[in-house]
Amino acid sequence: MDIVDLFKKGGPAMWPLLALSILSLSVIFERLWFWLRILSQEKEIVNRVLNAACVDWVSAADIARQATNQPIGRFLYAPLSLPKSDAETFRLALEATAEDELAGMRRGEKLLETVIALAPLLGLLGTVLGLIQSLRSIRIGDLGTESTAGVTTGIGESLISTASGLIVAIVSLAFYRLFQGIVVNQLKIFRKAGNDMELLYRQSPPDYTKMTGENMLPPVTIIRDSPDNLNSPRKRGKSRFSETPELPPDSELSEPEDN
C-alpha cells in the first residue's frame, strides 16, 4: 500500500505525528553526527595531554588548547588556562567545566522525551476519532448484513494512527536510550581523565614562571602608585591635606614677660 494513501487514511492525527517524527529525526541525526565526531578523537586527545603533562605542563596546555573544539579538550584545558592555581582551584575548574560540557551533551533529550510521550497519545486519539466516525454510520438494522463491511474497514484504517504513533515513539525511545548510555560513558571518561590530571598536578605542580604566552591566560596586573607616578605633572601641586602650617618665630611663641 502506498505511504501517501496510508497517511490519508490515518486521519487528522497523522499531521502532528508527522511533525513529531520530523523533530525526532532531526535531533537523532544531529546527535549522531555530534557523537561520531567526538568519539573518534576523544581517547587520542586524553592520552596526548596526559602523556605531555608527565613531562612538561607547557606542552600539555598547548595540546589541550589546540583541542578546545572538542568537549574533552575544553575540559582538560580549563585548569591549565588559569594564570595560577592551587590543588583546590585546579579541581574546581575541572568540576565546573565538566558540568557545562555534560549539560551540552544532553542537548535534545527533552525534545525526544516529549516525542516519546506524545506520539502514542496522538496515535490513540486518531484511532478514537476514527472509531467514532465509523460507529456513527452503523444502524441497528444493518447488523449482520454486508453493509457493515465498510464499518469494519473504517475501524481497521483508524488503527493506522495508533501504529504510526507507536513507531515514532519506539524509534525515538531507542535512540534516546542510546544517547543516554553514551553520556553516562562520557561521565566516566571525564572523571577518570580529571582524576589523572589532578594526581599529576599534586605530584609535580607546574612551574607558572614558564607557562606564559599563548598557553596561559595573561595574569591580572594591579597598577600601584610608584615614585615616578607621584612626581607626575598631575601630582606636582600641593594637597591641602598634606600642607603643614608654618610655625611662627620662637619669639612669637614665647610667653609675654610680666611687667
Say if CB 57 and CB 206 are below 8 A apart: yes
More confident site: 146 or 96: 96
pTM of the complete model: 0.73
The CA distance from 78 to 95, in Å, is 10
Given the C-alpha cell 544532553, which residue does it identify? 106
Confidence of residue 139 (pLDDT cuts 50, 70, 90): low
Say if CB 216 and CB 83 are below 8 A apart: yes
Q: What is the pLDDT of residues 197-247, one digit of tens each?
A: 999 999 888 766 655 544 444 443 333 344 444 344 444 444 433 444 444
The CA distance from 18 to 11, in Å, is 12
Give the pLDDT of residue 133: 77
The 8-class DSSP code of residue 129 comes to: H
In our burial notation (b when 16+ CB lie closer than 10 A, e otherwise), range 5-44 reads: eebebbbebbebbeebbebbeebbeebeebbeebeeebee
Highest mean pLDDT among 84-88, 101-105, 228-232: 101-105
More confident site: 209 or 38: 38
H/E element holding 50? Answer: helix 42-55
Confidence of residue 122 (pLDDT cuts 50, 70, 90): very high
Q: What is the mean pLDDT of the chain?
A: 79
The alpha helices in 137-224, defined as continuous H runs, are: 149-203
Give the pLDDT of residue 252: 44
Mean pLDDT score, 79-104:
90
Dihedral angle sign, alpha carbons of residues 5, 6, 10, 16: negative
